Structure 1
Amino acid sequence: MGKSADNIPTVYDPKNVEEKWYKFWEDKNFFRAEIDENKEPFTIVIPPPNVTGQLHMGHALNNTLQDILIRWKRMQGYPTLWLPGTDHAGIATEAKVKEQIAEEGLTKYDLGREKFLERVWEWKEKYGRTIINQLKKLGCSCDWSRERFTMDEGCSRAVQEVFIRLYEKGLIYRGDYIINWCPTCQTTLSDIEVEHKQEEAHLWYIRYYFKDSDRYLTVATTRPETMLGDTAVAVNPEDERFKELIGRTVILPIMNREIPVIADDYVDPQFGTGAVKVTPAHDPNDFEIGLRHNLEQITVMDNNGIMNENAGKYRGMERYECRKALVEELKRLGLLEKIEDISHSVGHCYRCDTVIEPMVSKQWFVKMKPLARPAIQVVDDGRIKFVPERFTKIYINWLENIKDWCISRQLWWGHRIPAWYCDKCGEIIVSKTEPEECSKCGSQQLSRDPDVLDTWFSSALWPFSTLGWPDETEDLKYFYPTSVLVTGYDIIFFWVARMIFSGLEFMQDIPFKYVVVTGLVRDSQGRKMSKSLGNGIDPLDVIRDYGADTLRFTLSTGNAPGNDMRFYWERVEASRNFANKIWNASRFVMMNLEGYDGAEIDPEGFSMADKWITSRVNTLTREVTRALNNFEIGIAAQKLYDFIWSEFCDWYIELAKTRLYGNDTHDKLTAQYVLASTLEKTLRLLHPFMPYITEEIWQHLPHKGESIMVAPWPEYVEDLNFPEAEEKMGIVMDAIKGIRNIRGEMNIPPSKKARAVIRVTGQETGAALRDGENYIKSLAHVSSLEYIDEIGNVPEKAMAAVITGAEIYLPLEGLVDIEKEIERLKKEKKNLEGELARINGKLASKGFLTKAPAEVVQKEKEKKKDYQDRMKKIIQRLEMLS
């Protein structure tokens, strides 16, 4: 049963509710997943936020959607596991600690690896739970007893196991390859960690003279500083302009090095002059050309973007400083033919925005083609479904064109690569434990690889490493594969694809059945939220000022899978108003349950209104459940909003008032039962979206169980479907709305009862209106209803409302002073004529139309239409009154 209604606050204050109920849920262990072999589980693993992270709107959206699904399935009786955790975020966390120690005048090299990592762990322990605590404020019902961290002991063991197995299978290798290097973060980046931005730049045309000749080839480049490492000039073999030059030798300007002219299909004859410089050590495409033609790889700058010993006299210069000096030298020597302004795409580090430098480096790689094939197959055959489906094509296209994955990072914070090198013979030893001697030559002079693994390497194992793999734990056997992954489209390649091929490789099963893709939360102008624009909105500010339920409902409504959404404060206000509407309506119900003991009442004795609302909430149950099954969370939220606000609050509560205050005890009990049961069922449907307010109200209502979050999800019941009552009630509501509109237009106060004359043109409408007379009299403030058959019996000077199957007339005699009303309408007509003349004059002026901003012109046109509509209504009323 519920609590007493005596102590229900008049105003809903989230601050007094949210912390109380979250603690209650946690204390009762309602979030904890229990294994039940007789039931199918429902599992979600959280996209692990970085330990450096603060809750932002993207997190709030993603985690709200996950929590809605989890709470819904929990109420449906599934053993539900929402497994939480955080990611160690190698680059970001190391950067945070480097900033911290820099304030002490230290670098990580001053501390040394061991001491630096101690400081990182200290930082993690102090700040790493910030985002977890923020997720709790949002209302996330994760199983915190199973919380994981990508560098905890279990996950670390899984990472090591995966590396060794892939290495032994020949799918991990070490080799020289062109990589993306960030001079600021001092580490490699995978291709998908490079953000390409369109920038204004230059194309420099440089002359390369042939050996012992005054002829030359002109090449075009956007990065002249890399020419110091050129080892060829390439042309297209089909380009007739250069066929006779293939195989000849040119002299590399400044360096005076002889380099060949080669032919390669990669060269675009339309780019620049059709001849391109080839720098295998500093360009990924040139690297591939170099491999095909066995060209030397000359690296001309170091890891800091400083020109090295191979750069000749430019050694020690920063790369852009070198560019400037080199261009001046080429001008002086007469080798710079021209400079052309262009716009082109430039790769930037996704973390610090530094322009990346392609460099040849010895790195660790995963061979992707063998792993990609089965990952494509399981999506092709529908074992894994993307929601919305359009992301399937994007996923498959990426995997079909995938390159090997560079997994080594030049950091200290992360999973260290389990590889040792023999200083004597160069043998590579990959092992779980530190080897004592070289397995090839027996030398004990071994050095461990200093690099760590890409953070995404450990995240790729998240669906099974968090459940105990490589051990065959009970959790792993029961909860894997997981049910659904909710994630943003921006990490389909970073994370989703990698989890899929990892699950197939190590679990021989898919990691999840559905991938629900969310869009970005943008500002009201459609811009991406960012620090640079200063347009970010802190979810915690919204929670503090409006409550978590308001934020959750704002993010739920108007949300469609895969689509970006705009954040409007007006929608936040609307959600807050919705919460207040629920509270006020519920408070009314709770305050009017005196004498009601919670006993069920047979629907056979229900009134038309009782059957209508019972049928509507029954239909709502089916519609919300169907929408959630299809991951259409925005549609489910909107249906709840429309039902609660319009049908339950604005209609049924008003219809029930006369019965609650009447003398018929049975009728009052029936109204109390329908009010309480409809509200209770609706609260259960709403709970996944707005958990706090629903729990607070539910606890005051007659109920069974300890908490709404473990109460059963409502089910559609065929016997509670009353289509006839819905149809009749629809007609009655139309009649009430028609009469209300007339009263509003004529400014008739509620205190003045009107006489309604109804001309019925449809038999079913007439029956419905007669059955609903009491509702019409009560809600439309009508004293009597009179039915007529002939149009000739229509009263004079009456306003009409037309509904399906009937015309409703309100005689105005006695309701309004007709002479005064005619006078008022004439005055309003005259004012409108003046306004229309003014606007028509404006819109006829060429000066106004050409000089005024488009939105101002449009506003005037909208005003004109509004005035014309009002004028039409005034003329109609004057004709009727005269």
Structure 2
Amino acid sequence: PELGRYYPGDVLVTGFDIIFFWVARMMMMGIHFMGDVPFKDIYIHALVRDEKGQKMSKSKGNIIDPLDLIEKYGCDALRFTLAALAAQGRDVKLAESRVEGYRNFATKLWNAARFCQMNECNPVAGFDPKGVKETVNRWIVAKTAEVADKVGNAIENYRYDAAALGAYQFVWGSFCDWYLEFAKPIFTGTDDGTKAETRATAAWVLDQTLHILHPLMPFITEELWQQTADRSEALMLRPWPKLEGLHDAAAEDEMDWVVRVVSAVRAVRSEMNVPPATQVDLLGSGLAARTLDWAKTHGDLILRLGRLAAFDAQASSQRVAQASSHGAAQMVVDEATLVMPLAGVIDLDKERARLDKEIARLDGEIAKVDKKLGNADFVAKARPEVVEEQHERRAEWSASIAKLKEALERLSGA
């Protein structure tokens, strides 16, 4: 009976180095003696190497003990790290800093759950996500359904890296950085109906988030599941969420536009070294009718999240031209042009000089790397991980130069 129960299996998990010595022989012997293949799928996982790509060995002293990492950062952080780095066809370069980063992600999730509790976002029996009315709530419900599908499909297809990335981007970005920020003024507002709907929606999204993250971070999600409400069963026993019919293109278009505007403003502030406490104006031109309506509807959100003093979505051409002539940063969001006047906010000449100097410095660093990589002796004699590190540095510096040049171009006018 045991053989009938366990043969054939579903999945064999193995490394690529024993495909011929072990996997192929299992397949041939299973077919020969049992008349059937021993497993339907073979998942070939990556080898875990050190952060420089070298194989771990005691003689090299580069072994990373997983128990030490678990003791320091938690089991969920290590598990999520390995899933996130498990890209097909590539070895895992395990660095402690990666595990630390995903420990911070676990902390972000915990703090989001605390925020929901402090704002009385408790699960509501019989809550129907299809019935929410507020645009911001329809938006996050649609995003939740989208990520549930994405992560579920990725896990079914053994794409654990894609599952981890999708869950990470949703939790850190859509839920924590955007939705909870959008919800803050609602929680402190006076509209009881909107407040109740948003609380119920936030609680529902948090519950679905715990479901989605559970295969990747089982311990913290189970703990939060038990702490955030009275539950009839453990999270690990519940079926995967099937969130059909919740996609809302209109709400997604509207709130995604708000996200793009605020992101553009924040990027320019960072690139131009605008002090965080300084509030600046934002002028808009060329907005279509619907985006103009969105700007009016969500103007307060854009002001607060972008740290703006004022947002004139229909600025006159004379005002835009005047701002540009005195020095301003321009950005394009969809069909609209947004202008941030910077005269009197930063020293424009000094900022241009700083950007030019940094571009020249990075150009020099790239020239040094190009000289190394152009040396056939260096490429032939250096360890592969050293050569790869040089390529990675060059790519990082090239990306930085592109951003700096973009910032320089934003400084229009005098």
TM-score bracket for this pair, using the shorter chain length: 0.7 to 0.9
Code of the aligned partner of 1:588:
F
Aligned in 2, Cα 1:486/1:860: closer, same or farther, shift over 3 Å? closer
Report the Cα offset of residue 562 of structure 1. Answer: 5.2
Distance 1:810 1:704 in 2: 50
**Which residue is equivalent to 1:782?**
308
> Is the Cα contact below 8 Å between 2:132 and 2:138 reproduced in 1?
no
Q: Secondary structure at the match of 2:10?
A: strand
Distance 2:124 2:363 in 1: 66
Match of 2:357 among 791, 808, 832: 832
> Is the Cα contact below 8 Å between 1:659 and 1:671 reproduced in 2?
yes
> Percentage identity across aligned positions?
34
- How many residues align structurally? 394
Task: Give CA deviations for 1:75-103 in whole Å, capped at 9, x if unaligned.
Answer: xxxxxxxxxxxxxxxxxxxxxxxxxxxxx
Report the Cα offset of residue 752 of structure 1. Answer: 4.6
Report the Cα offset of residue 788 of structure 1. Answer: 2.7
Matched, 1:610 2:137: yes
> Is the Cα contact below 8 Å between 1:760 and 1:806 reproduced in 2?
yes
> Is the Cα contact below 8 Å between 2:80 and 2:102 reproduced in 1?
yes
**Which residue is equivalent to 1:552?**
79
Q: Which has the higher strand share?
A: 1
**Which residue is equivalent to 2:291?**
765
**Which residue is equivalent to 2:45?**
518
Q: Secondary structure at the match of 2:233?
A: coil
Aligned in 2, Cα 1:494/1:611: closer, same or farther, shift over 3 Å? same
Aligned in 2, Cα 1:868/1:759: closer, same or farther, shift over 3 Å? closer
Match of 1:637 among 156, 164, 168: 164
**Which residue is equivalent to 1:481?**
8
Distance 2:394 2:26 in 1: 56
- Listed as ranges, the gaps of 5+ residues in structure 2 are 380-386
Task: Give CA deviations for 1:120-155 in whole Å, capped at 9, x if unaligned.
Answer: xxxxxxxxxxxxxxxxxxxxxxxxxxxxxxxxxxxx
Q: CA RMSD in A?
A: 3.7
Give matches, 1:155-166, under 5 Å: none
> Is the Cα contact below 8 Å between 2:287 and 2:313 reproduced in 1?
no
> Is the Cα contact below 8 Å between 1:839 and 1:864 reproduced in 2?
no
Code of the aligned partner of 1:801:
M
**Which residue is equivalent to 1:574?**
101
Give matches, 1:701-780, under 5 Å: 701-702=228-229, 704-717=231-244, 719-749=245-275, 751-780=277-306
Aligned in 2, Cα 1:580/1:868: closer, same or farther, shift over 3 Å? closer
Match of 1:699 among 213, 218, 226: 226
Match of 2:151 among 620, 624, 630: 624
Give matches, 1:375-454, under 5 Å: none
Distance 1:628 1:778 in 2: 38
> Is the Cα contact below 8 Å between 1:676 and 1:702 reproduced in 2?
no
Task: Give CA deviations for 1:813-849 in whole Å, capped at 9, x if unaligned.
Answer: xxx636x7246447647x8399669959x98xx9xx9
Distance 1:837 1:696 in 2: 47
Report the Cα offset of residue 584 of structure 1. Answer: 1.7
**Which residue is equivalent to 2:336?**
806
Code of the aligned partner of 1:807:
T
Task: Give CA deviations for 1:539-567 in whole Å, capped at 9, x if unaligned.
Answer: 11111111111111111112134543222
Distance 1:532 1:822 in 2: 56
Distance 2:166 2:274 in 1: 33
Task: Give CA deviations for 1:220-251 in whole Å, capped at 9, x if unaligned.
Answer: xxxxxxxxxxxxxxxxxxxxxxxxxxxxxxxx
Task: Give CA deviations for 1:524-550 in whole Å, capped at 9, x if unaligned.
Answer: 232222233332222111111111111
> Is the Cα contact below 8 Å between 1:524 and 1:566 reproduced in 2?
yes
Distance 1:551 1:620 in 2: 22
Q: Which has the higher helix share?
A: 2
Report the Cα offset of residue 689 of structure 1. Answer: 1.0
Distance 2:205 2:310 in 1: 31
Report the Cα offset of residue 652 of structure 1. Answer: 0.9
Distance 1:867 1:727 in 2: 32
Aligned in 2, Cα 1:675/1:501: closer, same or farther, shift over 3 Å? same
Distance 2:302 2:159 in 1: 37
Distance 2:296 2:70 in 1: 49
Aligned in 2, Cα 1:665/1:817: closer, same or farther, shift over 3 Å? same
Aligned in 2, Cα 1:759/1:633: closer, same or farther, shift over 3 Å? same
Distance 1:838 1:487 in 2: 44
Aligned in 2, Cα 1:498/1:665: closer, same or farther, shift over 3 Å? same
Aligned in 2, Cα 1:838/1:772: closer, same or farther, shift over 3 Å? closer
**Which residue is equivalent to 2:202?**
675
> Is the Cα contact below 8 Å between 1:516 and 1:561 reproduced in 2?
no
Distance 1:768 1:696 in 2: 39
Aligned in 2, Cα 1:583/1:493: closer, same or farther, shift over 3 Å? same
Distance 1:697 1:488 in 2: 34
Distance 2:331 2:359 in 1: 30
Task: Give CA deviations for 1:674-711 in whole Å, capped at 9, x if unaligned.
Answer: 21111110111111111101111111223643211112
Aligned in 2, Cα 1:791/1:642: closer, same or farther, shift over 3 Å? same
Code of the aligned partner of 1:551:
L
> Is the Cα contact below 8 Å between 2:272 and 2:407 reproduced in 1?
no
Give matches, 1:42-81, under 5 Å: none
Task: Give CA deviations for 1:259-308 in whole Å, capped at 9, x if unaligned.
Answer: xxxxxxxxxxxxxxxxxxxxxxxxxxxxxxxxxxxxxxxxxxxxxxxxxx
Matched, 1:600 2:111: no
Distance 2:132 2:30 in 1: 57
> Is the Cα contact below 8 Å between 1:488 and 1:517 reproduced in 2?
yes
Aligned in 2, Cα 1:608/1:875: closer, same or farther, shift over 3 Å? closer
Q: Secondary structure at the match of 1:606?
A: coil
Q: Secondary structure at the match of 1:528?
A: coil
* Larger Rg computed on CA atoms: 1
**Which residue is equivalent to 2:384?**
none
> Is the Cα contact below 8 Å between 2:129 and 2:201 reproduced in 1?
no
Aligned in 2, Cα 1:663/1:598: closer, same or farther, shift over 3 Å? farther
Task: Give CA deviations for 1:651-672 in whole Å, capped at 9, x if unaligned.
Answer: 1111111111222222222221
**Which residue is equivalent to 1:22?**
none
Distance 2:359 2:204 in 1: 56
Aligned in 2, Cα 1:754/1:487: closer, same or farther, shift over 3 Å? same
Task: Give CA deviations for 1:390-413 in whole Å, capped at 9, x if unaligned.
Answer: xxxxxxxxxxxxxxxxxxxxxxxx
Distance 1:552 1:670 in 2: 35
Code of the aligned partner of 2:232:
G
Aligned in 2, Cα 1:502/1:657: closer, same or farther, shift over 3 Å? same
Aligned in 2, Cα 1:730/1:485: closer, same or farther, shift over 3 Å? same
Aligned in 2, Cα 1:661/1:749: closer, same or farther, shift over 3 Å? farther
Report the Cα offset of residue 722 of structure 1. Answer: 0.6
TM-score, normalising length: structure 1: 0.40
Matched, 1:534 2:61: yes
Distance 1:547 1:527 in 2: 25
> Is the Cα contact below 8 Å between 2:31 and 2:37 reproduced in 1?
yes
Distance 1:620 1:692 in 2: 21
> Is the Cα contact below 8 Å between 2:129 and 2:246 reproduced in 1?
no
Aligned in 2, Cα 1:703/1:557: closer, same or farther, shift over 3 Å? farther
Give matches, 1:280-429, under 5 Å: none
> Is the Cα contact below 8 Å between 2:271 and 2:404 reproduced in 1?
no
Q: Secondary structure at the match of 2:184?
A: helix
Distance 1:598 1:671 in 2: 15
**Which residue is equivalent to 1:660?**
187
Distance 2:362 2:301 in 1: 45
> Is the Cα contact below 8 Å between 2:136 and 2:255 reproduced in 1?
yes
